[in-house]
Amino acid sequence: MKTNSTQKNDITNNETNNKNKLSRFFFLRKSINFHYLCPKTIITATMKLNKIYFFPARLLFSLILFLIPLKLLAQPIAINPVASSYLQPKFGANLGTLFNHQDLLLDFGLGYEELGYDFSITLNDAFRPFYNRGRVEIGDQLYYQVRHKAVQFSIDLEKRFYFLQFLNYNKLGIYLGLKSAFAWDNYKGFSLIQNDGFAFLPNAGLSWQFSKISRLSVGYLYRYNSVFSNPNMINIKLSLYVNSDDDEN
């Protein structure tokens, strides 16, 4: 049976070995020494490095590869961000997330997407899929520490201004939005459901439109009616146009 000190030594040795392997890999990358381009070495080192550091980056990269058609990488042309085309109404569905270091909400929506004038009006439902823990002040130096879930219904208005266009109608631009939201909090241990009231939540960010099929938006949302968590949230949203009309392309 191993003693604690032996186990600690083993762990330390393993860490040292891993560090040596990683530093060796970095050395390989820097020196571009073809002697080390043995597939086994590269694959092993890459796997170790990926496991430790690059999983989130790989996930993001895979997502981008999956979402962005290759034609987006073609030569872009600048377009007038306030210019409008003819009316191109679509039915749209969207799914997204609002998150920061203290909170996470999943957001689903359905509604009207206008591709000619680049705006949308959708009815969204966001919810927190787990109980979050936070404190609320109920009196002078008196706090409740509670676990709570949230549900939020909103009508989302969004206007997009595209300034770059790629082949196949892929577009890159910014968006400005307003969530007119009504939210409820459900506290664990209480029968009451807290009504957080009505709020206008401004949001803005970058918007990529992939042909006339889908759109990815990444931006900032100020959720000032949040009782417990930081109101500054990141908003990532994927919108899909359900009835894409091929004749328009």
Strands 132-139 and 119-127: unpaired
- Choice from 3, 75, 80, 249 touching another protein (CB under 8 A): 249
In this structure, is the dihedral angle defined by the CA atoms of residues 144, 150, 155 and 156, taken in order, positive or negative?
positive
- Choice from 24, 58, 101, 133 touching another protein (CB under 8 A): 133
Name residues contacting another protein, limited to 87-106 (CB under 8 A): 93, 95, 106
Name residues contacting another protein, limited to 153-182 (CB under 8 A): none
The Cα-based distances of 103 to 30, 48, 128, 209, 227 in angstroms read: 40, 31, 8, 28, 11
Sequence-ordered list of residues with C-beta below 8 angstroms from that of 107, at least 6 positions apart, any chain: 94, 95, 96, 97, 98, 124, 125, 126, 235, 237
Can residue 190 be called a binding residue for another protein (CB under 8 A)? yes
With contacts defined by CB under 8 A, name the span among 1-9, 21-29, 126-134, 172-180 that binds another protein. Answer: 126-134
Q: Two tokens at 109?
A: 């929506």
Q: Count the site residues for another protein by CB under 8 A.
A: 33
Q: 190 vs 200, which CB is nearer to another protein?
A: 190
Which helix (H) or strand (E) element contains residue 77? strand 77-78
Query: What one-character-per-residue DSSP string does 105-168 give?
Result: EEEEEEEEEETTTTEEEEEEEEE-SS-EEEEEEEETTEEEEEEEEEEEEEEEEEEEEEEEE-GG
Closest approach, Cβ 100 to another protein, in A, equals 17
- Choice from 122, 209, 214, 229 touching another protein (CB under 8 A): 214
- Choice from 117, 119, 127, 182 touching another protein (CB under 8 A): 127
With contacts defined by CB under 8 A, name the span among 12-20, 26-34, 49-57, 188-196 that binds another protein. Answer: 188-196
Residue 151 backbone phi and psi in degrees, to 5: -130, 135
- Choice from 16, 135, 197, 202 touching another protein (CB under 8 A): 135
Closest approach, Cβ 88 to another protein, in A, equals 15
Amino acid of residue 143: Y
Q: Where do contacts with another protein occur on this chain (CB under 8 A)?
A: 66, 69, 93, 95, 106, 108, 127, 129, 133-135, 141-147, 187-192, 211, 213-214, 238, 240, 242, 244, 246, 249
